[in-house]
Amino acid sequence: MADESQKWVLMVTAQTPTNIAVIKYWGKRDENLILAINDSISVTLDPAHLCTTTTVAVSPAFNQDRMWLLGKEISLSGGRYQNCLREIRARANDVEDEKKGIKITKKDWENLRVHVASYNNFPTAAGLASSAAGFACLVYSLAKLMNVQEDNGRLSAIARQGSGSACRSLYGGFVKWVMGKEENGSDSIAVPLVDERHWDELVIIIAVVCSRQKETSSTSGMRETVETSALIEHRAKEVVPKRIIQMEEAIQKRDFATFTHLTCADSNQFHAVCLDTVNFLLNVSQILMVCLIFRIISCVEKWNRSEGTPQVAYTFDAGPNAVLIARNRTSTSLLLQRLLFHFPPNSETDLNSYVIGDKSLMEDIGIQDIKDIEALPPPPEIKGKVPAQKYKGEISYFICTRPGRGPVLISGDSQALLHPDSGLPK
Ligand SMILES: Nc1ncnc2c1ncn2[C@@H]1O[C@H](COP(=O)(O)OP(=O)(O)OP(=O)(O)O)[C@@H](O)[C@H]1O
Ligand SMILES: C[C@@](O)(CCOP(=O)(O)OP(=O)(O)O)CC(=O)O
């Protein structure tokens, strides 16, 4: 290793997307290794709109592993962080940076400590899979820093030990998490199905209902489901295996009707097993959220039915945020008009922050200010049954996005979150 008195800092920055499951993971067969009771399939979201950026640094000057999340120091002592750090360190290799005169041998890594800084460009712990992008980015960036020579599939098995859904964020496009059979989890990995260019007509709109932190974590929610629900076994053993085969075929063939049917059915069944969970008590604010979920579902289902062929699929995770996947740009325009008609912003809301992400969709429908939203006609499928009341201000904002690519390295130090001289947050 280079002379410790030099106090050099070596850094890597990476960006990793989040993902949303269309066939859900819900339930573990091993809590520590994070092994699922069924396979799952997700779509990776465009990191331009939802991603984690993580910088990892190593220096002989660091005396402990430290991490800052969104600028605030957090503890790395939790089992999930420790498992990821241990597994990556065990695979570290020699690293040489000739320009900086740094040479780290495989053995040195045992004694070197790391600093980690991470930032999510979307709300954390609010049901938008921050743990997925976060742990995938942690593992990916550490693997690059430590010159780990394993492919993303092997890295996914490490990210999985941080958060199950994180393993699917190691690839772009549509991704399957194979639950695996081995007790040590070695075959429980993510497998890319198709990349993000395969079905590039799809457009995704996320209705963010509440960006506050959730009340029940997915981790404890699914534990209670496995312990108390009689339905979950039927779902994992009978329903999901068939759906996985059908979903893979629908994705390969870009068969939107089958894709929609499976995605909506699986989201609904996920809600059904939650309702079948003892202790799944709803407080008043959660009941209001459930009502909102049903309003969104009803708006989508009425439209799909009136068109004869599905135009949009819906899916929800462990919170009220709706993820709506539209078949193409034309149906996205029609969807956005419907969403804005039913869920207009409060009059004081700035339209620029009400629809974020790919704003060109707003240009497509000619909406420039709130008056244009107020002037939207009722969608034809509700003619004669126009609701007396619109749900003004019930959605915080919409994110317009699309299927996206997997993790990437960011070159240069300008986007790094740690200072190149001190290795402390910028
Ligand atoms: N950028 C990040 N780097 C490392 N860990 C992160 C990062 N962002 C979030 N996490 C971890 O994930 C936890 C949040 O996970 P949680 O499952 O509660 O929420 P979520 O992933 O946003 O929602 P859901 O899983 O329901 O979609 C945080 O408390 C933190 O431990
Ligand atoms: C509903 C889900 O989003 C559940 C995600 O659960 P997590 O991956 O957050 O849970 P842990 O493995 O305990 O960290 C469905 C899914 O993403 O497949």
Chain segment 145-201, per-residue pLDDT in tens: 999 999 999 999 999 999 999 999 999 999 999 999 999 999 999 999 999 999 999
Dump strand ranges (E) for 173-268.
Answer: 174-177, 190-194, 203-208
* Among candidate residues 164, 197, 230, the one where a domain is terminated: 197
Lowest mean pLDDT among 17-31, 83-97, 247-261, 274-288: 274-288
* Among candidate residues 144, 177, 197, the one where a domain is terminated: 197
- If we measure between CA atoms, which residue out of 319, 265, 318, 255 comes closest to residue 289? 319
Which residue minimizes the CA distance to atom 1 of ligand 2?
317
State the CATH number of the domain containing residue 29.
3.30.230.10
Band (pLDDT 50/70/90 cuts) for residue 3 is low
214-231 residue pLDDT tens? 667 899 999 999 999 999
358-386 residue pLDDT tens? 999 999 999 998 999 999 999 988 877 76
User: Within 10 Å of residue 387's Cβ, how many Cβ atoms?
Assistant: 11
Mean local confidence (pLDDT), 207-215: 70
Whether residues 174 and 220 share a domain: the answer is no
Whether residues 165 and 286 share a domain: the answer is no
Q: Are strands 102-104 and 66-69 parallel, antiparallel or unpaired?
A: unpaired
Supply the pLDDT for residue 2: 47
Residue 425 lies in a domain: no
Here the ipTM equals: 0.96
* Among candidate residues 136, 167, 197, the one where a domain is terminated: 197
What would you measure as the largest C-alpha separation in the chain, in angstroms?
Answer: 79
**Cβ < 6 Å from ligand 1: which residues?**
52, 69, 118, 120, 124-132, 134-135, 138, 217-218, 317-318
Whether residues 171 and 187 share a domain: the answer is yes
Nearest ligand 2 atom to the CA of 19 is 17
Whole-prediction pTM: 0.95
- Are the C-beta atoms of residues 182 and 188 closer than 8 Å to each other? yes
Question: pLDDT over 70 for what percent of the chain?
Answer: 94
Whether residues 50 and 117 share a domain: the answer is yes
Mean local confidence (pLDDT), 118-128: 81
163 lines ligand 2 (CB under 6 A): yes
| Domain span at 99 | 4-197
**More reliable by pLDDT, 99 or 234:** 234
Nearest ligand (C-alpha, residue 26): 2
Supply the pLDDT for residue 338: 94
266 lines ligand 2 (CB under 6 A): no
Supply the pLDDT for residue 284: 66
Whether residues 297 and 387 share a domain: the answer is yes
Mean local confidence (pLDDT), 294-304: 90
Residue 401, pLDDT above cutoff 60: yes
Supply the pLDDT for residue 413: 87
- Are the C-beta atoms of residues 176 and 190 closer than 8 Å to each other? yes
- Are the C-beta atoms of residues 18 and 48 closer than 8 Å to each other? no
- Name residue 152's amino acid: N
How many domains does the chain divide into?
Answer: 2
Whether residues 33 and 70 share a domain: the answer is yes
Nearest ligand 2 atom to the CA of 219 is 13
Task: Tell me the average pLDDT of the chain.
Answer: 92
Whether residues 180 and 218 share a domain: the answer is no
Whether residues 121 and 230 share a domain: the answer is no
Cα(135)–Cα(155) distance, integer angstroms: 11
Nearest ligand (C-alpha, residue 50): 1
Residue 422 lies in a domain: no
Whether residues 233 and 86 share a domain: the answer is no
Whether residues 150 and 237 share a domain: the answer is no
161 lines ligand 2 (CB under 6 A): no
Residue 409 lies in a domain: no
Mean local confidence (pLDDT), 311-333: 93
Residue 131 lies in a domain: yes
- Please give the distance, rounded to the nearest whole angstrom, from the Cα atom of residue 134 to the centre of ligand 1: 6
Cα(385)–Cα(301) distance, integer angstroms: 15
- Our measurement of the distance from residue 256's CA atom to the centroid of its chain's CA atoms, rounded to an integer in Å, reads 22
